[in-house]
């Protein structure tokens, strides 16, 4: 999109975040289910909850496979999905039409095969899926595991919603919709070099901070890199500093700084 069109679209669609009070039930649920949120400065937590208010109004959730959709499920997923948007202008996830939640990992009816390029019937259960048509499918058990283990580099909600950010420009190709055409070329050049480096290391059997699954293709690389960026920022920054810088540019935040802020906040809390 040209810079002028992009600016115009931004002006037309930019949404003022709600100023409604945050439900105490949400605070309790997120405090219990998504420990990463407690590490954010208070102002960022407040912004996150207001993005979540918009998100749950706009995106329909549906329980599948006998799962009764409870508030805890909606809020746990929304908190993690909206964390990716914390510093980005809203609205995002323009293509998300619906979130389907199964009790646990599910066997998808069909799945895109990266080796053949066709749709296939998989026999392995999946923790999540994101379709370019705007449907995100998640296993509730895996959503909770990913939220509770907030520093292992794996989070199915970050992964699937990273795919939806990637799909915003119409293609799920590992290159999300960037701010301007001038930054686009430089970003993509550096991004491609990081992908090539990851593939090379995986093929050579070297250990990497990023999950080797990221070498599957550029779309999976973006999703896996997003998981590591938010969950293991120090490790990713040490292992692939340019990849970390590119993600910090895109998400407009530096999770390593947030992680460093956590002990100070804990000290302040313990004094008061």
In the complex, the residues that contact Zn ion under the rule CB under 5 A are 220, 223
Taking the complex as a whole, how short is the minimal distance between the CB of residue 211 and Zn ion, in angstroms?
A: 10
Shortest Å, Cβ 128 to Zn ion: 8
Nearest Cα neighbor of 252 from 195, 176, 185, 196 is 176
Which residues touch 98 (CB under 8 Å, ≥6 apart)? 59, 60, 61, 62, 134, 135, 136
CB of residue 220 vs Zn ion: minimum separation in angstroms?
A: 5
163 and 126 in contact (C-beta within 8 Å)?
A: no
Q: 240 and 210 in contact (C-beta within 8 Å)?
A: yes
Query: Between residues 136 and 223, which has the closer beta carbon with respect to Zn ion?
Result: 223
Residue with smaller CB distance to Zn ion, 36 or 223: 223
Residue 89 CB, nearest distance to Zn ion (Å)? 25
- Please give the residue whose beta carbon sits closest to Zn ion in the complex: 223
Q: Which of 272, 271, 269 minimizes the C-alpha distance to 38? A: 269
Closer CB to Zn ion, residue 52 or residue 225? 225
Nearer to Zn ion, 56 or 167 (CB): 167
């Amino acid at each position: 999109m040209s810079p002028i069109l992009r600016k115009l679209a931004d002006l037309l669609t930019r949404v003022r975040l709600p100023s409604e009070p945050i439900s105490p039930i949400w605070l309790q649920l997120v405090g219990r289910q998504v420990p990463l949120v407690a590490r954010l400065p208070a102002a960022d937590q407040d912004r996150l909850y207001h993005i979540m208010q918009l998100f749950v109004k706009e995106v329909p959730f549906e329980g599948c496979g006998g799962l009764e959709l409870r508030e805890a499920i909606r809020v746990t997923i929304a908190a993690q999905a909206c964390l990716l948007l914390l510093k980005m202008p809203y609205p995002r996830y323009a293509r998300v039409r619906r979130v389907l939640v199964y009790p646990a990992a599910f066997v998808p009816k069909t799945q895109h095969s990266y080796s053949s390029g066709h749709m296939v019937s998989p026999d392995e259960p999946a923790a999540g899926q994101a379709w370019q048509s705007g449907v995100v499918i998640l296993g509730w058990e895996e959503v909770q595991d990913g939220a509770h283990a907030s520093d292992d580099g794996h989070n199915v909600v970050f992964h699937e919603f990273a795919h939806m950010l990637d799909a915003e420009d119409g293609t799920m190709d590992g290159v999300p919709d960037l701010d301007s055409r001038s930054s686009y070329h430089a970003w993509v050049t550096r991004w491609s070099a990081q992908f090539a480096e990851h593939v090379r290391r995986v093929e050579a059997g070297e250990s990497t901070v990023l999950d080797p699954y990221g070498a599957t293709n550029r779309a999976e690389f973006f999703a896996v890199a997003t998981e590591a960026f938010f969950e293991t920022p120090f490790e990713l920054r040490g292992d692939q500093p340019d990849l970390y810088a590119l993600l910090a540019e895109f998400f407009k935040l530096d999770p390593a700084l947030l992680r460093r802020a956590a002990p100070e906040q804990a000290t302040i809390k313990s004094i008061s």
